[in-house]
Amino acid sequence: MSHFFTCRISPGVLLGTGLFLLLGSHPLLTAHAADTVVRRGSKNVSGDIASVDKSEVTVKVKVPKEETVTIPANEIVSISWTGEAPEAGVARSDDNGGRYAKAIEGYQKCLQTSKTTNPAAKLDFEFGIARCTARQALGEPAQIDAAIKTLEAFKSQEHYRHYEALELLGELQLAKRDFDKAATVFKELGRAPWKSTKMAAKVQLARLAIAEQKLDDALSQYDSVAAEEAAGPGELPQKQAAQLGKARVLLLQQKGAEALPLLESLVNDIDGDETDLQAEAYLRQGDCLRELGRDKDAILAYLRVDLLFAAARTQHPEALYQLSKLWAKVGQAERAEEARDRLAESYPGSEWATKLKTPAS
């Protein structure tokens, strides 16, 4: 008999230990015993989700005391649902990391295998697919119509992702240059009940004004948001997005010397979690330095986008395009060719790959 079984352990302790090991190894029980709402700028909340609508999620909490907690939709990063498939966490990670094709596969598997009984969970996975499809389409215009169709269907749902779906839909319509529809969606976004989302709507309307070459209107919108006091969740990133937009307008007005200090401040101040904003800041810094004739410094700014923010599908192809031009200009033909090849391979349908093929570009 082994030494293990010669030890005297009471049956109750052995049973309790066995149950602990059995239950502790169960994938659903170790993940979470309840729905868990991951919040932006606040503590997470675990319990039973009682209701979901476009503006909030209500959770019945049992510990440390029984209470009902209402969470505004704009504070919710994600929800882990009781009974969701083990692949759900991996799909969210792939989504956040810009691995959109893998994330879509993961969300599709969740729809097939999750045991959650809350219909809002199914919509959550469907939105994950729609969001990833939209983000892919921002780098590949040929996919835009399909992504728009998916988001159009989703935005009518009574779900906490409603306003996020609206913003993505407007971005796609802007990318398609369907300006009237984009304006309608962004104005609807501005009717959200939170200051941060109203600020986001103004930022998007300013981007629309730039696309329509209405630079004074864009600058007015950006200045309006940049002047706001940022106190609530999500407000500071919108204020910084407006400052980035203002710098872009200054660049378009050939006022690079005015834009550069603003951009240098932003690259230092933007939070590390705001990867799209960081990528945009370095991209515009590169534009500014290039316009000022500081080609080597501009290359370093564009390289940061390439090396650190390759998942930013709006900014990354533009950075590769600029690198292909600047590497050639400073006598680095091989690196210029590498940037061109990567742009053509990773974003074959993007406007930047198209510009690369155009002799006049």
What domains does the chain contain, in order, with CATH numbers? 263-361 (1.25.40)
Q: How many CA atoms lie within 13 A of 123 on its CB side?
A: 18
pLDDT computed for residue 250 by the predictor:
96
> Phi and psi (nearest 5°) for 324?
-60, -35
With cut-offs at 50, 70 and 90, classify the pLDDT of residue 132.
Answer: very high
pLDDT at residue 9 above 80?
A: no
Which contiguous run of DSSP H or E holds residue 240? helix 235-252
Is residue 50 helix, strand or coil? strand
Reply yes or no: is the peptide bond before residue 64 cis, omega within 30 of 0: yes
pLDDT at residue 11 above 50?
A: no
pLDDT computed for residue 180 by the predictor:
97
pLDDT at residue 20 above 50?
A: no
What tokens appear for 113 in the block? 């295998």
Mean pLDDT of the region 313-324? 95
Residue 12 burial (CB count, 10 A): 8
User: Residues 269-288: pLDDT tens digits?
Assistant: 999 889 999 999 999 999 99
Residue showing tokens 């629309």: 208
Cα dihedral 121, 125, 126, 129 in deg (nearest 10): 170
Give the mean pLDDT of the chain.
89
Closest CA to 33 of 42, 43, 41, 23: 23
Rounded to whole angstroms, the Cα distance separating 359 from 356 reads 8
pLDDT at residue 230 above 70?
A: yes
Mean pLDDT of the region 149-172? 95
Identify whether the C-beta of residue 269 lies closer than 8 Å to the C-beta of residue 309.
no
What percent of the chain shows pLDDT beyond 70? 90
- 270: which DSSP letter? S
pLDDT computed for residue 328 by the predictor:
96
Rounded to whole angstroms, the Cα distance separating 180 from 148 reads 15
Q: What is the pTM of this model?
A: 0.85
Q: Which residue has the higher pLDDT, 32 or 103?
A: 103
Identify whether the C-beta of residue 54 lies closer than 8 Å to the C-beta of residue 162.
yes
